[in-house]
Amino acid sequence: MSNDMNGTIPKIDFAGIDPAAASPGDGDSRWATVRAAVMDALIEHGGFEAVMDDIVAPELRAAMLATGGAAESLFSLPPTTKARYTSEKPYLGYVSSSIPGMPYETFSIMDPLSPDVVPALAGLMWPDTGGDSSFCETMHAYTERVAVLEAMVRRMVLESVGATAEHVEEQSKATSLRLRISRYPAPGGAAAEGRVGLPAHRDTSFLSVLTQNDVDGLEVECGRGSGGWARPALSPCSFLILAGDMLKVLTNGRVYSPLHRVVISGEKTRYSCILFSNPKDDAVVRAVDGAVDAQHPAVYKAFGYAEFIAFCFTREQYRNPNKVEAFAAVGGVDG
């Protein structure tokens, strides 16, 4: 693990951006300014800290991540109860910290805004009461608000590479959301100076939007891999946004998909929530038309997202940090 922790990632203030605006377009100077900053950050670093005071109220964030909140109540359940939440897909459902090499536990929830998904989870976890209504309300409200921020950023990126309003709408319909809630126990003792909770990897998503309790831990490479590593200390009104491999493909390699990892230290448990946007399983992923021209030929072939995910979980590719290049590159793009 690198000791080069002198990197920094940009911080972008979203103040003045109206998430309810149906079509801000180029005539909105504030939207255009923030959009340019977002694209610059994703090209140069693959991520940034988004500051937006009014997207998630402090009370809602606390209800999700603070002591006694939804995340803690979920993970405090008995192991046999948590193990009821299963999935046939890799690393969906509940993944236990009892698995060798897994010093954390996580719930990964597909389509968390679908009306029956979170209540179904709550019914499994609290069957005697028919589910926890407060838990469901917090999960839905939190996810709904973070999804607004994710959709804004994804739209800004698509507009920056020439996508039409129709393409933005089509791409939105072909996108699914996944919420991952994780618990990283405090290492304490001799390991209190730092323990790898999650090895360095790139996401297979379009975007990920991360929040956490007051315990830092995520480390991100900067400067397309040449600017050291940063350990962002998120404020109560900020979010870490990272580009994944699928956004790199959409932009024909312009956006960078950074390596990132979790290193846990100290004496306090870390809770995090990440909202991922992904292509739907039946989606075909290809570069936006506006991102490909004579000067910028296509660097990835079109491919099915489900086939790519299956490729990622093969024994040969599981630890490959450049999976999308191995699967779909036609030349001319770095890892």
* Span 121-134, pLDDT tens digits: 999 999 988 778 99
Within 8 A by CB and 6+ apart from 125, the residues are 74, 77, 81, 82, 84, 85, 131, 132, 135
- DSSP for residue 152: H
Of 78-82, 149-153, 328-332, which range is least confident? 328-332
Any domain includes 133: yes
In this structure, the strands spanning 229-230 and 47-51 are: unpaired
pLDDT of residue 59 exceeding 60, the answer is yes
- State yes or no: pLDDT of 196 exceeds 90: no
DSSP string computed for 7-48: ----EEE-TT--TT-S--TTT-HHHHHHHHHHHHHHHHTSEE
Give the count of beta carbons closer than 10 Å to the beta carbon of residue 185.
16
Q: Does a structural domain hold residue 326?
A: no
Position 334 confidence tier, pLDDT thresholds 50, 70, 90: low
CA dist 280 and 165 (Å) reads 20
- Host domain of residue 112: 11-284
Q: 303 lies in a domain?
A: no
User: What per-residue confidence (pLDDT) applies to 115?
Assistant: 96
What pLDDT, on a 0 to 100 scale, did the predictor assign at position 3? 59
Element (H, E) at 229: strand 229-230
Q: Where are the beta strands (DSSP E) in 21-143?
A: 47-51, 93-95, 105-110
For the whole model, what pTM was predicted? 0.93
Residue 335 has pLDDT above 70, yes or no: no
Nearest to 272 by CA among 116, 70, 12: 70
Distance CA 238, CA 51 (A): 4
Q: Does residue 335 fall inside a structural domain?
A: no
Say how far apart CA 333 and CA 253 lie, in whole Å. 6
Residue 261, in any domain of the structure: yes
Mean pLDDT of all residues in 309-313: 92
| Paired sense of beta strands 238-243 and 284-285, if any | unpaired
The answer to whether the beta carbons of residues 272 and 209 sit under 8 Å apart is no
Residue 126, domain member (yes or no): yes
pLDDT in tens, 108-155: 999 999 999 999 999 999 998 877 899 999 999 999 999 999 999 999
Note whether residue 290 is domain-resident.
Answer: no
* 7's tokens: 């990197």
Picking from 25-29, 59-63, 328-332, which range would have the lowest pLDDT averaged per residue? 25-29
- Domain count of the fold of the chain: 1
205 lies in a domain? yes
CATH for 182: 2.60.120.330
**Which pLDDT score, from 0 to 100, does residue 1 have?**
43
